[in-house]
Structure 1
Amino acid sequence: MVAMAIAAPGLAENWVPVWMASPQAVWSDTTVFATGLPEQIAGATIRQPLTLGFPANRIRLVLSNVHGTRPLPITAVKLARSAPDAQAKDAQAVLFGGHAGTVIAPGAQVVSDTVVFPAEAGARIAATLTYGPDAVAEDFHWDARETSFLIDADKPLPEVLQELPARLTLSMVLSDTPARLGVIAMGDSITDGNGAPMDAMVRWPDLLARALAAEGIAVVNAGISGGRLLSDGMGRSVLARLDHDVLAVPGANTLVLLIGTNDIAWPGTPFSPEEAPMTLDRLQQGLMQVAARTRAQGMRLVVGTVPPFEGALPDTPMEETYWSPEKDALRRSLNDWLRGADFYDALVDFDRVLSAPEDDMRLNPLHDSGDHLHPGGNGNQAMADAVAQVLRKGWE
């Protein structure tokens, strides 16, 4: 009885995600997309600045090797206040079961011990990881929209050996500050931030987090560029990664899902030349599966309609095949079905938010990043405003 009473407070701790980068498997074919990683990480030290989307008194880091096929040795991890470029200050050691390093088993992740680290929403922090001599990069997040740094040593003013546009190993930051809602924004490159400037923190989930933190709502970004609902793309499908990236995340109780563009667009393109065209029935069944699984976990589901993309990806090998009238007709049918469905808790009509006023097959030029597929700064702000309006209604 005494032992149980002593252990209970630790077991009752509540944590909420305040930053996230969904893991992807590192690919070996870099003819289309370079990984952005160093040639090797054995013995390397990598500093990863990030912005907290919600306040914290204490922090825990989550490190991932979920796509790894071999153990990943980490010899040291530090958490610090981020300063310009690769600089850091007030560093603290991050321990794992009281040890300075850890070895992450293949297919697994590790959660650090608690670090006392008071920080406001919007605070800039940096996690610095030093890898063991046998470390191999197999697990990363490709399109970070923020620069990390390969450095000569973990010190306040290091020499930068290489700038990295990807995340490596670091997949989540948890806070002990209670949140009314723990929101995960899941989707493809539109959510991941393609089209948003590097290091500007203006992806729509970033803007949403800043808008809602003071209202007790924590928001993190689980987008993956090239993501699809039903099939693996540049990462696992939504259905395949739903458990790890949403349902198993502590403190997460709301999913905002925008997905479908690549399911509709990829068949017949250089990405998937032999794939049969997508059908409305398959998309409907996939989304209903997401609903069934989130509801079974007691989570709320907010679904988004698919924005237009006529003329997408000009001057690329995808230009001729990514969009077609038939693909747009399927997008419209999906959106019409979503507007009349009742399997979700709320709907955000991104299609109407982002469409051109007189041509609803195209993005509004004011919202377009320039590639006619990904929203720019104004578009991301419009998306964040639309989601905030829905979340502020609450589910009391």
Structure 2
Amino acid sequence: MLRRTAIRTLLGTLAVVPAVLAPIAVAAPANAAPRPHWVAAWEASSTQASTDAADCPAYTGLTDQTVRNVLTAATGGDRVRIRLTNVFGTTPLHVGRASVALRGTGADTVPGTLRGVTFHGRRSVTVPAGARMLSDPVRLSVPALHQLAVSVYLPDATGPATQHPRGLQDSYLAAGDRTSAGATGYDTSIDCSLFLDAVDVTAAHQVAGTVVTLGDSITDGTASTRNTDSRWPNGLARRLDARHGRTLSVANAGISGNEILEDRIPVRYGPSALHRLDRDVFEVAGVRDVIVLEGINDIGAASATAEQLIAGDEQLIARAHAHGVRIIGATLTPFGGSNGRYGGDYGTAFGERQRQVLNDWIRTSGAFDAVIDFDRATADPSDPSRLLPAYDSGDHLHPGDAGYQAMANAIDLSLLR
């Protein structure tokens, strides 16, 4: 009951942002060339480090080391900029050098593609505690769906790092400044991204903007195969890239363990969706749409009711509309059978009732601008409270690779503007 009371208090104190007046559009000449525009090619929603993981030294931080963050660009472009993050740092972050390149194999880069990155014309920069820093653009031809290597050299002790944990993608560490090097020296692989939360590109004119996928571990791809980009947002990016004509890039704002209503403990689960909406959605380059798939951890870990989650979703909807962003609701996937591993109200009779009531509201209320029915796309027809066995990773909460692909395939691309 304490958790539910806390949720009601939080919702009562969150103010709805008033709608803003739309700017007056001025028509461009008919023969004018499309202006280059920035879209997000990749995003990693940041969390605070509370402990070191076996494959991520985020809590200890780095000293005189280079991290080579490996990522997949959802769309291509001919200019690139990166965004460093010290959002959860408690002291200024001194960055000695940074670079970006097309990734080769392992920690290596494609010859001839490595570019030094500057910040207001300077190679080194200090990012204040609690802040982020956008780089100057660099010319680099990035093919859609190609991997990039973004290297950041930290000459001084950083303290606990701003991170994205459990990245399901090998990144690398090296001693000293190896931002201009190939694979030599990168002798440690890690499963997190450090001090980097976005890469943007100037996209082709048919890429109209970015769709952000806001969610928890099911959006973050937990239980998918590492180093294969098998998360459902990756599947969506592949489908959008193959679409002829107007399309969108995809930015994944999933955080494992995340909730809509509460800043969950431990802190690696990230601020609640309500608290991180501005940073992780509205500040994304070119954002036009957001798909929301959240609430299963509110039910399972915090025993939240459908009524509380509906109130939280209404806040998300109002704030998205105030920013001129379309918001698409996704029904929660089945979690029957997950209680033995995860406890709480994961898969309990109470939890299933809340999931069903919330899903019915998402489908029928008309509150969202559109709806994606991930529940029906992944449920076992013989027992809709459970994932279809072919889609179940084995923990009865997270889909496996086939389940995530089924989710990507279930999205009607015409819903995305």
**TM > 0.5 between the two?**
yes
1:284 and 1:319 map into 2 onto residues whose CA distance is 23
Identify which of 37, 40, 48 aligns with 2:57.
37
Offset of residue 321 of structure 1? 5.2
Identify which of 249, 271, 275 aligns with 1:218.
249
TM-aligned CA distance change 1:321 to 1:173, over 3 Å:
same
Q: Deviations along 1:306-330, whole A, 9 cap, x unmatched? A: 111111165x4x3475321111111
> For 1:242-391, what aligned pairs fall within 5 Å after superposition?
242-267=277-302, 277-312=303-338, 314=340, 316=341, 318-319=342-343, 322-387=346-411, 389=412, 391=413
**Is 1:104 aligned to 2:132, yes or no?**
no
Q: What SS class does the counterpart of residue 391 from structure 2 fall into? A: coil
* Aligned amino acid, residue 44 of structure 1: Q
- In structure 2, stretches of 5+ residues that fail to align are 1-34
Q: Is the 8 A contact 1:16 1:176 kept in 2?
A: yes
Offset of residue 35 of structure 1? 7.0
Q: Is the 8 A contact 2:61 2:157 kept in 1?
A: no
* Aligned amino acid, residue 279 of structure 1: T
Offset of residue 394 of structure 1? 4.5
**Is 1:80 aligned to 2:101, yes or no?**
yes
Q: Is the 8 A contact 2:61 2:161 kept in 1?
A: no
TM-aligned CA distance change 1:68 to 1:165, over 3 Å:
same
Q: Which residue of 2 aligns with 1:133?
A: 156
How many residue pairs get matched? 368
Please identify, of 35-44 and 255-264, the stretch whose mean Cα deviation from structure 2 is larger: 35-44
1:100 and 1:158 map into 2 onto residues whose CA distance is 22
If the length of structure 2 is used for normalisation, what is the TM-score? Answer: 0.85
Q: Is the 8 A contact 2:299 2:345 kept in 1?
A: no
Q: Which residue of 1 aligns with 2:87?
A: 66
Q: Which residue of 2 aligns with 1:191?
A: 219
Percent same amino acid at aligned positions? 34
Q: Is the 8 A contact 1:69 1:138 kept in 2?
A: no
Identify which of 247, 251, 261 aligns with 1:230.
261
CA RMSD of aligned residues (A): 1.7
1:356 and 1:61 map into 2 onto residues whose CA distance is 42
Q: Which residue of 2 aligns with 1:273?
A: none
TM-aligned CA distance change 1:206 to 1:35, over 3 Å:
same
Offset of residue 214 of structure 1? 4.0
If the length of structure 1 is used for normalisation, what is the TM-score? Answer: 0.89
- In structure 1, stretches of 5+ residues that fail to align are 1-11, 268-276
* Aligned amino acid, residue 347 of structure 2: W
* Aligned amino acid, residue 255 of structure 1: V
